[in-house]
Structure 1
Amino acid sequence: MVTENGKTAADMFIRNDREAAIADRADRMAASFASRAPIHDKEGTFPFENFAELKESGYLKLTIPSEYGGEEATLYELVLSQERLARGDGSTALAVGWHLGQLMQLRISRSWPETLFAKLCAEVVRDGALINHFASERTTGSPTRGGKPETIAVRADGGWLISGRKIFSTLSPIVRLFTVSATIEGGDRVGEFLVRQGSGVAVDETWNTLGMRATGSHDVVLDQAFVPDEEAIYAPGLPPKTKLPDEAGALLHIPACYIGIAYAARDFALRFAREHRPNSIGKPIAELPHIERQIGMLEAELVAARSFLYFTADRWDRLTEARETMKPELGLAKHLATNAAIRVVDQAMRIVGGASLSKSLPLERMYRDVRAGLHNPPMDDAVIQMLALRALQE
């Protein structure tokens, strides 16, 4: 459908030439990724080819500050790009989103020593290095719940020795460096350290899941992995870590991914409805009243969730002084997007019918992938509690 501005409904969130270029790059890669997604999903393999394309296109430096050679994307641009990328392959989009989100958080907070942050940015821009933060552990659960890590940091000559096991370590087959949280030996303090792949670091390929099967979220095992003092981010003897309240904005890469998957499911269902002509009715099923109603229900879900997601990202970008109060809105954007994505993919499958269960079609993979959003932060119960407490305190 074309609007009076000549844009399709899909382009209504593109506001200028820069955003159009960002979206176009993501669209081109998404088309390439979509052709490989079924194979990596079936085999549970990591899409190294996709990440080679991401590196070649410059995508990995999207959120790095311009002073260090990056594109310094706004949150709105990150959401726009990640949603488009996820239409091709949700696993790839979610995985690279953690890299982009961490770089955006560091750019905003400047919570690292500046020399270390500059060094990280140089490695990303020059070499295409990838980074992620590994915090989850089996005994502590999600780090957002406040569990104390059982990974231990022990003081050593010139640095620290880190030992432990991290789960849900997305990008583990390809990251060159990553940050970990660890309890300082002999006390209750928790430090943060930049760890490089190499001696003392091993990937245990445990990731075999229902959905998001190609994110490479295996266990990472650390056995006295050495971190030099200059790559200890927060530890005894260092200044307290800076943590600004607006860091949570970068987590909108998560709902952007699930909205992208839902949009792809919507597109597939629309094409199917226009083209499928059972000989019992002699016309496309899109012309049947009950199918039109299902399409309308799907569209209502998607438009509402996308609109709030982009509205929230834009507001976060513009109202820098209000970011401290926006955590409930950021959480709500994720809650609405994730749950709407589940309903949209379900509705798309109802439109397509029994054929949607076939592994030769993408809908059943999308159905499995969007379920994973329920287990990404912030969790639904925490979001609802935040909203309730804010309302009660008004």
Structure 2
Amino acid sequence: MAKDGWIRNQREEEIADRSDRLAAHFAERSAQHDAEGSFPFANFADLHDAGYLRLTLPRIYGGEEASLYELVLAQERLARGDGSTALAVGWHVGQLLQLRTTHAWPEALFAWFCRESATNGTLINHLASERATGSPSRGGRPETKAVATDKGWLLSGRKTYSTLSPILTCFTVSAAIEGTEETGEFFVHTGPGVRVEETWNTLGMRATGSHDVVLENVFVPDEKLVSRSGSPRKERLPDAGGWLLHIPACYIGIAHAARDFAIRFALNHRPNSLPGPIADLPNIRRQIGEMEVSLMTARTLLYAVADRWDREPEQRASLKPELGLAKYVATNQAISIVDTAMRIVGAASLSRALPLERMYRDVRAGLHNPPMDDSVISGLAQQALNDCK
């Protein structure tokens, strides 16, 4: 494989190499997990053994303290092997980056969790989506209720799209605080009153374990109330959602794998009607060139924005439009790249014996991860209007 121009130093090369090794193993299992809709527990054992789950943990708690740029690099390479695994673990490593930079949790809770994750591979995700409210990025009030009780809270409700649910032993959850207009974020351990209902049976990203999580009078002690809307933590710092770049990194990684597959196919497929491989045909070369335009455009924007977020922390709040644009471009270009790859391979690309049809289904899921296309475009329009006032 040609050297990747986005790898700038030895540390980044080591991060990329680890992801490449893991991706090679995951690719061997991905078809089975996709067919079964099963959660890839073995992949997560490998991630733990390789130290990947410590990628964004602070060094003082045993982590690698990866930058956003390094997170994007690691996630993109990992997704070339299996999109579901990359997207699922992305919520863990991405949120740890967010927590590290924003100080959104009380330090004692964050320190405890970091040690648990570094030692035991404990994973985290924030469960916010609900059927009635849709995407939490739209601002709906959760129907999950938190009722004050002696020395704590009782939580009841149902969360959807709960990625990693088969493997989580703890998570945070958003809930409306009964009797107020406030919402709270609570740290929950699995146990009595918590159950997973296996509802995840989808077109793409079938192995993320994004089932429903049901809470029935789950007790959460007062010290595990992470935050509430009426009294936000003063220490919390803005990050403009930079950690969410793990999402476009995943989808452009899937597209990169589809591109590689199609090019190798074109170099080796020799119909008896032609004197050489189909890679010699002008139409095939044009389509390969179009894939390169899309891939280079998306990767350039993705890595440039991640680099700016790292280098200019004081400017992070103003980077929100660029962060959204990076996701918009990467996701839509990923769909285009996989579509073109299938055109190059032809009717064989529809076969479940080949990975392209799975990649085609997986990249479609990116349209439904935040931020949504319409929100990005609306925000850019408002920015343009403000610039010209």
Partner residue in 2 for 1:267 = 260
Report the counterpart of residue 326 of structure 2 in structure 1: 333
Give the drift of 1:159. Answer: 1.3
Give the secondary-structure state (helix, strand or coil) at the position aligned to 2:241. Answer: helix
How far is 1:240 from its partner? 3.8
Larger deviation, residues 322-331 vs 222-231: 222-231
Q: Distance in 2 between matches of 1:55 and 1:305?
A: 30
Aligned CA distance change for structure 1 residues 59 and 128 (closer, same or farther; 3 Å): same
| Distance of 1:257 and 1:135 partners within structure 2 | 21
Q: Report Cα offsets for 1:327-369 as digits up to 9, x if no partner.
A: 0000000000000000000000000000000000000000000
TM-score where L is the length of structure 2: 0.98
| Residue in structure 2 matched with residue 205 of structure 1 by the alignment | 198
The question of 1:176 aligning with 2:161 is answered no
**Contact conserved, 1:176 with 1:196, CA < 8 A, in 2?**
yes
Q: Distance in 2 between matches of 1:215 and 1:77?
A: 22
Alignment-derived partner of residue 286 in structure 1: 279
Distance in 2 (alpha carbons) for counterparts of 1:284 and 1:232:
62
Quote the sequence identity (%): 68
DSSP-derived class of the 2:354 partner: coil
| Distance in 1, Cα, partners of 2:69 & 2:271 | 43
Q: Which residue number in structure 1 is paired with residue 138 of structure 2? A: 145
Superimposed CA distance per residue, residues 129-187 of structure 1 (whole angstroms, 9 cap, x where no aligned partner) = 00000000000000000000000001122211110000000000001110000000112
Give the gaps of 5 or more residues in structure 1: 2-7
**Is the Cα contact below 8 Å between 2:103 and 2:237 reproduced in 1?**
no
Which residue of structure 1 aligns with residue 365 of structure 2? 372
1:253 corresponds, among 238, 246, 251, to: 246
**Residue 102 (structure 2) aligned to one of 91, 109, 116:** 109
Change (3 A) 1:74 1:284: same
Is 1:383 aligned to 2:376, yes or no? Answer: yes
Per-residue Cα deviation, 1:294-319 (whole angstroms, up to 9, x for no partner): 10011111111111100110111001
After superposition, residues 79-158 of structure 1 pair within 5 angstroms as 79-158=72-151
User: Which segment is superposed worse, 186-195 or 329-338?
Assistant: 186-195
Instruction: Select which of 12, 18, 23 maps to 1:30.
Output: 23
State the Cα deviation string for residues 104-140 of structure 1 (Å, max 9, x = none). Answer: 1100000211111101101101111000000000000
With 233-242 and 62-71 compared, the bigger mean Cα shift is at 233-242
Q: In structure 2, what is the Cα distance between the partners aligned to 1:165 and 1:291? A: 49
> Would you identify which runs of 4 or more consecutive aligned residues in structure 1 move more than 6 Å?
none
Q: How many residues align?
A: 387
Contact 1:140 1:147 in 2 (8 A): yes
RMSD over aligned Cα, in angstroms?
1.2
Corresponding residue for residue 157 of structure 2:
164
Q: CA deviation at 1:290?
A: 0.7
Aligned-pair CA distance for 1:326 = 0.2
Give the distance between the partners of 2:214 and 2:351, measured in 1 at CA: 37
What is residue 4 of structure 1 aligned with on the other side? none
| Residue 43 of structure 1, CA deviation | 0.5
**Alpha-carbon distance between aligned partners in 2 of 1:326 and 1:315, rounded to the nearest angstrom:** 8
Structure 1 residue identity aligned to 2:169: R
CA distance in 2, matches of 1:23, 1:343: 25
- Given that 2:240 and 2:320 are in contact with CA atoms closer than 8 Å, whether structure 1 keeps it comes out as no
The one-character-per-residue Cα deviations of 1:217-264 (angstroms, maximum 9, x if unpaired) are 000000011111121102499664655331500000000000000000
- Paired position in structure 2 for 1:5: none
Contact kept, 8 Å, 1:111 with 1:241, in 2: the verdict is no
Query: What is the rounded CA distance, in whole Å, between the counterparts of 1:235 and 1:391 in structure 2?
Result: 34
Q: Using the alignment, how far apart are the partners of 1:159 and 1:105 within structure 2? A: 26
In the alignment, which residue of structure 2 is the partner of 1:357?
Answer: 350
Distance 1:240 1:186 in 2: 21
| Contact 1:63/1:73, CA 8 A, preserved across alignment | yes
Q: Answer whether contact 1:266 1:344 (CA < 8 A) is retained.
A: yes
Normalising to structure 1: TM-score of the pair? 0.96
Match of 2:291 in 1: 298
